[in-house]
Chain A
Amino acid sequence: MDKDLDLDALFAQAAEDRATLSPELDARILADAARLQPSPQAFVKPVVSVPPRPGFGWGAALAEVLGGLRSVAALSMVGLAGLYLGVAQPAGVQSLTSLLSGDAATVDQLDLLPTTGALWSEE
């Protein structure tokens, strides 16, 4: 009998004799896997809920909708400026509104800054 053939037959027999994990070992390995497995949540940006600021009520909510306190301040300034122009009716505005509404018969020259005319006078 050929010695190498004996050995090859033994190797083949050993190769077929596959090890199997006992349930206990399988459980130990899987317990390690579960303990060390990165959490899927680690890859998701966490959602942070911002609590409403206390003491502002609906005003704070409106400010949030309009874009924050800076936006509210800017809107307030624009609103006040509009109110002033509407009530005080400066001369420049009157000329402009007359022109746009057609009250002026002819307009050769529109003086938007009447009070600054003296600056251009040579006298």
Chain B
Amino acid sequence: MPRDTLDDLSDDTLLVLYANGDPEAARLLTARLGPRALGYATRLLTDRAEAEDVTQEAMLRLWKIAPEWRAGEAQVSTWLYRVVTNLCTDLRRARGRRPGVGLDDAPEVAAGAPSAVASMIEADRMAALNAALDLLPERQRQAVVLRHIEGLSNPEIAQIMGLGVEAVESLTARGKRALTALLSGRKAELGYEDEEEAGV
């Protein structure tokens, strides 16, 4: 089927077309979903090469499940985010980083944490944000990235993370407080003090 006639189709429909042998559907799904999976994985892993491997694996699982996909039961993007979340969790655990922390045991940021951030973060704001995100408990990091960077709704995040909506709200709120605390000690270094003085 020509590409311009496929552009308006939903991810669901494209996946069904892929399962029926349409090669153009695979290209469109990759163009739509690949960058989202890669961006999310990069935020969670802070390692581009690992994020690329996770993205390829997640897309591979999508191709495999395509013949059994039931249109209308779930969003393809939600399903993919969930796969990426699980793959990143497994990878972080396998490489010996801090283990994931359950919702109930997720600690608030300690008073001395900003100084720990200061030794790790890069000079620019995005690097500082990524470094601060990397210091969050795993579930908080996932919830914050999905809500505030990927722009998903709380019900969607709840579906991805296998939690209730209230639990997601709690995670994102705590994650934001932790990030604020982590970054507040870096305001001058990140240029916010200068903007404040200049009245920006």
- A residues sitting closer than 8 Å to B (CB atoms) are 1, 3-4, 6-8, 10-11, 13-15, 17-22, 25-26, 28-30, 32-34, 36-40, 42-43
Contact = CB atoms under 8 A, between A and B. Distances in A.
A21 B21 contact: no
B35 A4 contact: no
B143 to A, nearest CB: 13
B21 A39 contact: yes
B125 interface: yes
B19 A34 contact: no
B167 interface: no
Interface string B24-44: 001101100011101100110
Interface stretch (B89-97, B106-114, B154-162, B180-188): B180-188
Contact of B30 (A13, A18, A33, A36): A33
Contacts of A25: 34, 38, 52, 55-56
A29 B176 contact: no
Contacts of B43: 14
B11 to A, nearest CB: 14
7 contacts: A7-B176, A7-B183, A19-B42, A25-B52, A29-B34, A36-B66, A43-B20
B60 A1 contact: no
Contacts of A13: 125-126
Interface residues of B, number: 41
Contacts of A10: 125-126, 129, 183
A13 B176 CA distance: 16
Contacts, number: 102
A3 B42 contact: no
Contact of A29 (B55, B149, B192): B55
A34 B36 CA distance: 21
A15 B149 contact: yes
Given A21-B30, A34-B26, A3 B39 contact: no
Interface string B183-198: 1100100001001100
B18 A33 contact: yes
B151 interface: yes
Contact of B23 (A18, A19, A29, A37): A37
Nearest to B196: A1
Contacts of B36: 19
A19 B35 contact: yes
Interface string B106-132: 000000000000000000011001000
Interface string B56-71: 1001100110110000
Given A7-B176, A7-B180, A38-B21, A26 B30 contact: yes
